[in-house]
Chain A
């Protein structure tokens, strides 16, 4: 696996470097631009002068966000929703996927078909609301984490992964006297870390970003997650100035662009913190699959 330092190889490396730099810039620029806008003053933003560094440095946008009466409560609620929702989802998906991965299960195909059916057809918003309401979940955190805890796509993903685990491994465990539940927790799950990590990551991002369910099912504002507040600031910044006859005397020093950027920055940070840790497992997962072929 030694590369000779030929001219062709060096040329290849130069191209490689250039193209990867371009890719990195394409990904990095919007991020830097948002960061710069969030710290710039309104006149410079509207003048189109801001590119990748702030002009007329100000932290007004951030002050305005943390001035929001319920932003801290929102972060707390989001954290609770994310942790609780991800745990429940992961647990439910696992115990649902494992039996379905066993070919000898009677009616397996029918179950899978029914589950797949929900990927393409849903009951609609109002009927779903009525179901959630009649179970008495409205305005409790369970309305946000229970009804959507099994996503068919992740279920199928996990099921396929479980099917890839050699049957003889489980048979061996059975010979050693483990019952099916023990096999699941002691043998199968430890072997499925890559898929678990990937799905956990997806779920976390889903629960962190999801404001819609909270908007529909949670009434008391003290339970609202931070993304709902963000949604209001980002979408509302435009509406507020136009909707009311009074208009918006408010954005006197603050451009709505900088406010939006600041909000996006603030809410992106938690996901950015978690991602590097999960990424390790992603890479592993890809390799595992590759070797197995």
Chain B
């Protein structure tokens, strides 16, 4: 009984020893490939390593047709290091701090670019614009300079290859149960007061309901409806004022007071879901499709699913439809949409690599007409065809369950390396006539809020900012909960709140930001 155990343990020990020795040997060979510097000269394709944010919606697959096409057209073989998207930013910080950075790092957001750009980790792409002619051309063509300015560092250098949308899209909207509006002969709300009246009527018709729901958190609601309330959510509420030429904190201002008062009124009169700030995505969906809630702000692309489930659960007439922005004290404005959501960065060390020029050429290729067609439309005469000078998807794509899905399965429409989103492509993919008509209306009527200026901070200032922001954000969220759900009274406690926020660092940050303007 004891013998076999001893034997197994001894064998285990021997095996372990052997395996670890083997491991030590194989380490050296692994090392070179992990850095992705395997450029096999003129013969094979250039191997570039890419750090990649892996979305669960389209899990990375090395066999996507797109990679073969890219290899054939651009002679580049991408060595993709995929990281699950929920943890991408964590790993990104570690990799950028560690010094061994892949040739291309995708989906880098503005705050990370500005944090690492000034440490000398990233390559200043603006110094190499002569080698990036297509990028240069597209920046001019898209007239995106004012938004791009926010990505530049203090010295005016650009450290990122931006992902650019040709136009802002009206893809989030206030959404209301149109069948009920028709049934009760109501008017579609155009102002916040009218919204209140409509919600009140709907509550009377169905006393058990909570007419307004919100997906996920307080921040989501503020992001989607804030612009109309005059509390632009960009940059944590620190907004540059064109008239006074200085920064101000919008979450202690009058517009914000009106916003929380409105929500407080909805909560006390039971017009809004008691879980307004705490609901999960699944339970939000549940509230919408069971008819428990009839108004919300959301992405228009979510509606097809909600309507399908709602028809099964409530009635065949069930129809959630997007409407024009509801005007508030800030004006009739849609949610602020970034035309540059993120971008690709290249490590500064790449400049010394023998294949540096080819690396830049590949990056630029993604901005060329040919390159951007491949990563958005796919392969000509396979996934799309040109009819009368206009591109359209082939039956193979439009016949699939969803256009988006079909593109994803071929490796196209991938957030990581799609650098240009053209309007005609987007409209075809979303395949929802409401988005295009509403977007055209939005552009014509100036529903999109203007771009707010982001302060340009030095690394030290950035650190100071991070420290202050943590306390500010906590205090802000706590007070917002208390105001909306009645823990604090908006009439009596407001002045204390404003003072408290100022002492907690709002004043310091405003000084810090205003300093950057000098």
By a beta-carbon cutoff of 8 Å, the part of chain A in contact with chain B is: 42-43, 46-48, 68-70, 84, 87-88, 91, 125-126, 129-130, 133, 136-142, 185-186, 189-190, 211-212, 215-216, 219-221, 224, 228-229, 231-233, 235-252, 255-257
Contact = CB atoms under 8 A, between A and B. Distances in A.
Contacts of B300: 247
Given A130-B98, A246-B429, A43 B12 contact: no
Given A46-B309, A249-B304, A250-B405, A244 B23 contact: no
Interface in B26-81: 26-28, 30-31, 34, 54-57, 59-63, 80-81
Given A221-B82, A240-B55, A247 B302 contact: yes
A136 B27 contact: yes
B290 A232 contact: no
A44 to B, nearest CB: 8
A48 to B, nearest CB: 6
A255 B282 CA distance: 8
B59 A70 contact: yes
A256 B281 contact: yes
A256 B80 CA distance: 27
Contacts of A229: 59, 84
Given A43-B313, A68-B59, A91-B16, A189 B299 contact: no
Nearest to A186: B6
Contacts of B281: 238, 241-242, 256
Given A231-B84, A240-B56, A240-B57, 8 more contacts: A91-B12, A91-B13, A136-B28, A221-B54, A236-B55, A240-B85, A245-B171, A256-B281
B109 to A, nearest CB: 11
A221 B60 contact: yes
Given A137-B27, A215-B91, A46 B84 contact: no
B301 A47 contact: no
B197 interface: no
B393 to A, nearest CB: 14
Nearest to B171: A245
B100 interface: yes
10 contacts: A69-B60, A70-B60, A126-B94, A126-B97, A136-B31, A190-B5, A235-B56, A239-B86, A249-B403, A255-B285
Contact of A125 (B34, B56, B94, B220): B94
A228 B82 CA distance: 11
A219 B10 CA distance: 33
Nearest to B55: A240
A47 B9 CA distance: 55
A228 B282 contact: no
Contacts of B429: 246
B415 interface: yes
A43 B94 CA distance: 41
A211 B82 CA distance: 14
A220 B282 CA distance: 33
B404 interface: yes
B158 interface: no
Given A247-B301, A249-B304, A185 B84 contact: no
Contacts of A141: 23
Contacts of B299: 241-242, 245, 247
A190 B1 CA distance: 9
Chain B interface, >50% SS class: helix
B403 A216 contact: no
B305 A251 contact: yes
B63 A185 contact: no
A82 B313 CA distance: 45
B74 to A, nearest CB: 22
Contacts of B282: 46, 255-257
B489 to A, nearest CB: 33
B444 interface: no
A48 B290 CA distance: 9
Nearest to A212: B87
A268 to B, nearest CB: 19
A219 B215 CA distance: 34
Chain B: number of interface residues, binned into ranges: 35 or more
A232 B402 contact: no
Contact of B34 (A69, A126, A139, A224): A139
A69 B413 contact: no
Given A69-B61, A139-B34, A231-B84, A246 B56 contact: no
Given A133-B98, A236-B56, A185 B9 contact: yes
Contacts of B62: 69
Nearest to A90: B12
A179 B57 CA distance: 59
Given A133-B100, A241-B302, A249-B301, A43 B309 contact: yes
B279 to A, nearest CB: 12
B518 interface: no
B420 interface: no
A231 to B, nearest CB: 6
Given A70-B59, A256-B281, A232 B54 contact: yes
B454 interface: no
Contacts of B305: 42, 251-252
B442 interface: no
Nearest to A128: B94
A44 B403 CA distance: 26
B286 A246 contact: no
B430 interface: yes
Contacts of A224: 82
Nearest to B300: A247
Contacts of A88: 16
- Best-buried of A219, A237, A252 by chain B (most CB within 10 Å): A219
Query: Looking at A69, A242, A245, which has the most chain B CB atoms within 10 Å of its CB?
Result: A245
Given A46-B309, A125-B94, A246 B6 contact: no
Contact of A236 (B31, B63, B86, B301): B86
Interface in B281-334: 281-282, 285-286, 289-290, 299-302, 304-305, 308-309, 312-313
B412 interface: no
Nearest to A48: B286
A233 to B, nearest CB: 5
A74 to B, nearest CB: 10
A240 B215 CA distance: 14
Given A69-B61, A219-B34, A236-B57, A231 B404 contact: no
B438 interface: no
A137 to B, nearest CB: 7
A219 B55 CA distance: 16
B83 interface: yes
B401 interface: yes
Contacts of A237: 56
A169 to B, nearest CB: 14
A221 B81 contact: yes
